[in-house]
Chains A and B, each alone.
Chain A
Amino acid sequence: MKYATEFRDPKAARAVLARIAQVADVLGATRAKPVHIMEICGGHTHAIFRFGLDKLVHEGVEFIHGPGCPVCVLPMSRVDECVQIAERPEVIFTTFGDAMRVPGTRKSLLQAKAEGADIRMVYSPLDALQLARRNPGREVVFFGLGFETTTPSTALAIQQAAREGLANFSVFCNHITVPEPIKALLDDPHMVLDGFIGPGHVSMVIGTHPYDFIARDYGKPIVVAGFEPLDLLQSVLMVLDQIRDGRAEVENQYARVVPEHGNPVSLAAIADVYERRPSFEWRGLGEIDASGLRIRSAYAAFDAEEKFGVGYAAGPRHVPEPEGCACGAVMTGRIKPTACPQFGRGCTPDMPLGALMVSSEGACSAYWQYGGARATEAAE
């Protein structure tokens, strides 16, 4: 697939690209000694590849693809626990389609479904609620997955279930938060990042202040960005401008959607239903302090971990990642996807070994999908 070259406003895009090049030159950035900018959100990673932005910007600007794809950072242990719950005969297990092909140690949800488990892909936790109302004799479990963008949806669904007294509905909570892994990356001595592109839709929920520590404590610029190619280019320029001026600030390029203080109804629902876990396991990154949410005891009746005695409720456990899988090194920016020995061999989008190959928002999948177009273009 050839990546999109038609911008809504090509003239504006060219102008921003020219200014990016100017500032990059002032900074002395080169291909050998680039400015490293991490886009945190998987949606941004996808857009950067789709529009070929990494090839359009000055060669001294290098994108590092962040951990912001919830499917990609889901550890195998949690997939195993999904399968364990889904294989119970009384359970209807509901999930976003994205999670179906993530490999567990024994099988994926897709394989469990093929073997007879009642697993249904839904669009929304509201669909799971509806299934619970219609199937009072079954246990309907929703696989709660995602960053702060999807967390309000399961919080509101649990509140609704509580109001209705829906005793056969529960959530297997895997919600994670954006700021904590960023802190973990910044604390990693191997990581050399010069600035960040902040997530758009996560920030719509949490606002911009949760990123203050990045500027204040680590002295790095961060710019919250929209999803259009021009949004991303403007945000890159804003990061570079900050570096040139010696500033480190939280800026909001996507103010037309992202309010400074987030969405109050969403934040209230999250605070009512969830609390922080002491730590949560991330694929490739290990356990990160306070990076995951669990359901408060007031809503324990809707917590699948408590109901079925799995996961963190069953005590400490650790499952190693598959042999030869370098997802962790890719996710921390230490190597490019193509440097993984399994890339395109033991691991392809059809038969993924590591999670970064599963989702269209994963760096490996993006390299695979758009790599062909790159090679063709280089030959032209």
Chain B
Amino acid sequence: MCLGIPGRIVAITDEARQMAMAEVSGVRREVNVACVLDRPIGALVGEWVLIHVGFAMALIDEDEAARTLDALRDLGEAQEALDAMAEGQRALEGRA
């Protein structure tokens, strides 16, 4: 919950709500990008970000993303975050 997980912004999904699609270890998840909007929202596509509970909190470079993901995998936290995302999806579908 407290450790962010790196993801790459692949598309903007809702400009008004500042939402974008991120790819995290092969899983797609919609995230809020308000905290990293230092440029027009479209220019975020392709950038790596550190994602906390559905919010992109920092822009990072690709090497930092890879190193962070390695550390999270070693801690078992990467899988924990992906499981939580899947759990969230189930909750939305009412299959909680």
Interface of A with B (CB < 8 Å)? 4, 8, 41-43, 46-47, 50-51, 68-71, 94, 96-98, 118-127, 130-131, 134, 145-147, 149-150, 152-153, 156, 160, 201-202, 204-205, 227-229, 256-257, 263, 265-266, 269, 360-361
A266 and B1 in contact, given A96-B84, A360-B76 (Cβ under 8 angstroms): no
Once the chains are docked, how many angstroms separate the CA of A121 from the CA of B1?
Answer: 12
Interface of B with A (CB < 8 Å)? 1-4, 17, 29-32, 34-37, 50, 52-55, 57-58, 60, 64, 67-68, 70-72, 74-77, 80-81, 83-85, 87-89, 91-92, 96
A265 and B37 in contact, given A94-B91, A96-B84, A257-B58 (Cβ under 8 angstroms): yes
Closest to A121 in B: B87
| Cβ B87 vs Cβ A263 within 8 A | no
Q: Which residues of A contact B1 (CB under 8 A)?
A: 70-71, 96, 98, 145-146, 150
Given contacts A120-B96, A150-B52, 5 further A-B contacts (CB under 8 A): A46-B75, A124-B53, A152-B35, A152-B57, A228-B68
| Cβ A263 vs Cβ B35 within 8 A | yes
Once the chains are docked, how many angstroms separate the CA of A7 from the CA of B28?
Answer: 29
Once the chains are docked, how many angstroms separate the CA of A152 from the CA of B54?
Answer: 11
Once the chains are docked, how many angstroms separate the CA of A156 from the CA of B37?
Answer: 14
Partner of A123, one of B50, B53, B60, B67: B53
| Cβ A47 vs Cβ B53 within 8 A | no
Q: Which residues of B contact A147 (CB under 8 A)?
A: 2
| Cβ A153 vs Cβ B52 within 8 A | yes
Closest to A257 in B: B58
* Shortest distance from the beta carbon of B89 to any chain A beta carbon, whole Å: 8
| Cβ B53 vs Cβ A257 within 8 A | no
Once the chains are docked, how many angstroms separate the CA of A41 from the CA of B76?
Answer: 17
Once the chains are docked, how many angstroms separate the CA of A228 from the CA of B72?
Answer: 9
Once the chains are docked, how many angstroms separate the CA of A130 from the CA of B88?
Answer: 10
Once the chains are docked, how many angstroms separate the CA of A229 from the CA of B70?
Answer: 11
| Cβ B57 vs Cβ A127 within 8 A | no
| Cβ B88 vs Cβ A227 within 8 A | no
Partner of B50, one of A121, A126, A257, A266: A257
A selection of 23 A-B contacts at a CB cut-off of 8 Å is A43-B77, A50-B74, A94-B91, A96-B1, A97-B83, A97-B84, A97-B87, A121-B84, A121-B96, A122-B91, A123-B29, A123-B81, A124-B88, A127-B92, A134-B92, A146-B1, A153-B53, A160-B17, A201-B3, A201-B52, A204-B57, A256-B64, A265-B35
Closest to B59 in A: A257
| Cβ A153 vs Cβ B55 within 8 A | yes
Once the chains are docked, how many angstroms separate the CA of A163 from the CA of B57?
Answer: 21
Closest to A147 in B: B2
Once the chains are docked, how many angstroms separate the CA of A46 from the CA of B52?
Answer: 18
* Shortest distance from the beta carbon of B84 to any chain A beta carbon, whole Å: 4
